[in-house]
Amino acid sequence: MVRVSVIVIIYKVAAFLEECLDSIINQTCKDIEIICVLGKGDRECEQICRSFEERDGRIRLIIEEAGGTAKARNTGLDAATGDYIAFVDGDDHIDPDMIEKMLDLALKYETDISVIGRYYDYKNCTESNTVGEETVLDIKGALSVILYQTGFFLHIWDKLYKKELFYDLRFDEGKKVEDRQVVYRLLVKAGRIAYDPVPKYHFRVSRDSGSRVSDNLVRSLEADKEIASDILFRYEELKPQVVYFLVYETMSVIQNNMLYGTFSVEHDKENLKYVKRHRKEIYNDKNVSKSVKLKTFLCSFFPGLLKIYTIKMRSDFLKKHEEFSTGTDWNETFRDQGIKD
């Protein structure tokens, strides 16, 4: 029998934890172990975990000093005994057949990684923009999907991994943005990826989640540049995809600054220069949407208009999408845990 280890990282998510753990213990794939890694001192989450541990013998609770998601995931990996690894964040939940579907994909196509689609859960609605049929991608095909952002991305939680991939690889502890570089390395090691875009993972959109602290987009962009450099070294033919990816992510940083009142032409001059320098490549790429081309044009020549456009679009979006709240000051929490980078 093939066994799956499901690693759940838990810290200050009590409002959502029962739904998360319920969704895991009720999986159609029964041969799983559930490793809950909990940050010490979170009494409310501990009580919930203890109650589930008593109900289901597949649950193993590990309590350690809170030190960020990377440390918690590494602890889970060290404890895992399954043939495959899946990750679920404690404030998210999954469809009843998600593990079974990902395992079937991996075994059917003999791949070391399988990927499924995801939902975006808001308080008043659930959305998904992934459609299509299951397929097998080589590494260049998978990277093209990621770089053009036409399907899955470098998230850790919408994938199933053969445990062997982690034998010489762990998450970089002490950093706020730690998963995308690890996922990139895992994909390169795997070489072939089975992908079914039908959504099974429910990502809860919270306005104050730990992944949305003020400087995370900047740190993500730094990680993106390192990944892009390695991709170009390995696969020079993916340059159009890399250019698009970096322009898009750079504009995301600029627009985020516009939304939070930290934007100025002087403050963001290097990012503005980067977008302007690559604007013609974006204009000439038939795979780039008209809306991205428009934003590239505004960013290059009329950043003030882009700011107005960005604030208006965000305001319209929030009128239709009510985000969750964790009630946690994650900047303070990261400081307390000694996480600075």
Position with higher pLDDT, 335 vs 44: 44
Do 121 and 46 lie in one domain? The reply is yes
What would the pLDDT profile of 259-290 be if each residue is shown by its tens digit? 999 999 999 999 999 999 999 999 999 999 99
In a domain, 305, yes or no: yes
Do 135 and 225 lie in one domain? The reply is no
> According to the model, what pLDDT value does residue 217 have?
80
How far lies 108's CA from each of 6, 32, 117, 201, 300, in Å? 20, 19, 18, 20, 47
Do 95 and 234 lie in one domain? The reply is no
In a domain, 133, yes or no: yes
With a pLDDT cut of 70, the percent of the chain lying above it is 92
Do 281 and 302 lie in one domain? The reply is yes
Asked if residue 175 has pLDDT above 80, the reply is no
Dig out the tokens for 92 from the structure. Answer: 């998210």
- The CATH number linked to 66 is 3.90.550.10
Do 85 and 136 lie in one domain? The reply is yes
The reported pTM is 0.93
d(CA 197, CA 117): 4
The residue out of 186, 207, 228 marking a domain boundary is 207
- Domain hosting 28: range is 4-207
Helices 179-190 and 139-148, interaxial angle, to 10°? 150
In a domain, 62, yes or no: yes
> According to the model, what pLDDT value does residue 210 have?
47
Confidence category of residue 142, pLDDT binned at 50, 70, 90: very high
d(CA 276, CA 274): 5
Do 196 and 153 lie in one domain? The reply is yes
Based on the structure, what is the number of domains in the chain? 2
d(CA 196, CA 18): 27
What would the pLDDT profile of 252-263 be if each residue is shown by its tens digit? 999 999 999 999
In a domain, 254, yes or no: yes
Do 192 and 278 lie in one domain? The reply is no
Do 159 and 11 lie in one domain? The reply is yes
In a domain, 141, yes or no: yes
Do 270 and 200 lie in one domain? The reply is no
Do 56 and 75 lie in one domain? The reply is yes
- Burial degree of 54 (CB within 10 A; 0-12, 13-18, 19+): exposed
Do 37 and 149 lie in one domain? The reply is yes
Q: Helix %, strand %, coil % for the chain, to 5? A: 50, 20, 30
- Mean pLDDT over 100-118 rounds to 97
The residue out of 207, 225, 251 marking a domain boundary is 207
In a domain, 82, yes or no: yes
